[in-house]
């Protein structure tokens, strides 16, 4: 783990509630990260105590592991949120203390026959970071499903990146699961309902499949229970829940 100073560069809206923020990274030792990892942004609570919030690195990594001088993240605004308040007020050139990289939500070195990469909201960013690594697995014959839960079309963050992958590889499948409103022009894989509905209609092979779950804690818990019930061994279900740490008292 390396202490980092992030300098805010730019911010682009992904939808009405989510932005893609770019920072440059300064650190005393090179900041090397692996696709799927996250950083912690450091903040001060109202009572003066130090705390942090975690954010997955959203860049498409050129190589699975690399030294990064710039990072981006997708941030969903939370009303009254500490990080939300600071990040939404940042201007170009402002700095923020951070640390990283953290996490083991990365592809395992051994290849699996089928990958189910399941997300809600900004939980899809680790899979975006992995796109070039996934291309290697796809070229080796793996089948990859990115199963993305959102309320409606605007929640399908980075859909263009995954649809481009689907156009290029027959064995890559982008499966949007829309719970409230379908796309104006639905595509073949589009599903109605939660990702859990989609998963419950699937069979999983405990010998060859691996699943990753990232985002909303409720989805992660429910999908985990479902996959386990369907016979997928626990060590083949990787999880990352997007929650804030408890305030320090
Ligand atoms: C490993 C990891 C990776 C993460 N990656 C990302 C990421 O890439 N992008 C991202 O946007 N977030 C990510 N998160 C969540 C992020 O760390 C913060 O929890 C989130 O941004 C809210 O922080 P905040 O300080 O603005 O709100 P807080 O001050 O933490 O919360 C304010 C209030 O809102 C509630 N609240 C918190 N989160 C939500 C929510 N999602 N919906 C509704 N109410 C909420 C809290 O319970 C609290 O009452 C990640 C979390 C983890 C653990």
Was domain 114-241 assigned CATH 3.40.50.80? yes
Q: For the packed helices 159-168 and 131-139, what is the interaxial angle rounded to 10 degrees?
A: 20
Mean per-residue pLDDT, 17-23 = 98
Confidence band, pLDDT 50/70/90 cuts, at residue 246? confident
245 CA to middle of ligand 1, Å? 9
87 CA to middle of ligand 1, Å? 12
Q: Whose CA is nearest to atom 7 of ligand 1?
A: 55
pLDDT at 53: 98
Which CATH entry fits the domain spanning 2-102: 3.30.1300.10, 2.40.30.10, 3.40.50.150, 3.40.50.2000?
A: 2.40.30.10
What is d(CA 57, CA 101) in angstroms, rounded to the nearest whole number? 9
In the chain, CATH 3.40.50.80 covers: 114-241
Share of the chain above pLDDT 70, in %: 100
pLDDT at 247: 80
pLDDT at 93: 97
Binding site membership of 105 for ligand 1 (Cβ less than 6 Å) = no
Q: How much is the pTM?
A: 0.97
44-93, pLDDT tens digit by residue?
999 999 999 999 999 999 999 999 999 999 999 999 999 999 999 999 99
Binding site membership of 54 for ligand 1 (Cβ less than 6 Å) = yes
Nearest atom of ligand 1 to the alpha carbon of 102? 1
Q: Whose CA is nearest to atom 44 of ligand 1?
A: 78
For tokens 């990859």, name the residue. 144
Mean per-residue pLDDT, 90-98 = 98
pLDDT at 70: 98
In the chain, CATH 2.40.30.10 covers: 2-102
Confidence band, pLDDT 50/70/90 cuts, at residue 145? very high
Beta strands in 142-207 (DSSP E): 143-150, 172-178, 191-192
Contact status, residue 33 vs residue 100, Cβ threshold 8 Å: yes
Mean per-residue pLDDT, 217-225 = 98
157 CA to middle of ligand 1, Å? 17
* Residue 200 in this model has a pLDDT that exceeds 90: yes
Nearest atom of ligand 1 to the alpha carbon of 82? 25
243 CA to middle of ligand 1, Å? 5
Binding site membership of 34 for ligand 1 (Cβ less than 6 Å) = no
The tokens describing 47, both together, are 């009572």
84 CA to middle of ligand 1, Å? 9
Query: What's the whole-number average pLDDT of the chain?
Result: 97
């Amino acid at each position: 783990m390396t202490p980092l100073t992030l300098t805010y560069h730019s911010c682009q809206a992904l939808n009405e509630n989510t932005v893609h923020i770019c920072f440059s990274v300064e650190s005393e030792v090179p900041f090397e990260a692996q696709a799927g990892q996250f950083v912690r942004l450091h903040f001060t609570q109202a009572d003066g105590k130090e705390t942090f919030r975690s954010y997955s690195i959203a860049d498409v990594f050129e190589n699975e592991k690399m030294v990064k001088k710039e990072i981006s993240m997708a941030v969903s605004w939370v009303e009254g949120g500490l990080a939300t308040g600071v990040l939404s007020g940042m201007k170009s050139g402002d700095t923020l203390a951070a640390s990283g990289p953290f996490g083991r939500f990365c592809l395992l070195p051994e290849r699996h026959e089928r990958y189910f990469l399941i997300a809600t909201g900004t939980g899809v960013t680790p899979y975006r970071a992995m796109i070039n690594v996934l291309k290697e697995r796809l070229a080796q014959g793996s089948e990859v499903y990115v199963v993305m839960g959102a309320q409606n079309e605007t929640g399908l963050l980075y859909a263009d990146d995954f649809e481009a992958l689907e156009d290029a590889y027959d064995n890559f499948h982008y499966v949007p699961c829309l719970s409230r409103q379908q796309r104006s022009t639905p595509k073949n894989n589009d599903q109605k309902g939660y990702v859990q509905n989609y998963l419950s209609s699937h069979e999983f092979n405990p010998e060859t499949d691996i699943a990753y779950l990232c985002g909303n804690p409720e989805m992660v818990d429910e999908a985990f229970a479902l996959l386990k019930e369907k016979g997928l061994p626990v060590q083949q279900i990787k999880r990352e829940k997007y929650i804030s740490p408890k305030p320090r008292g």
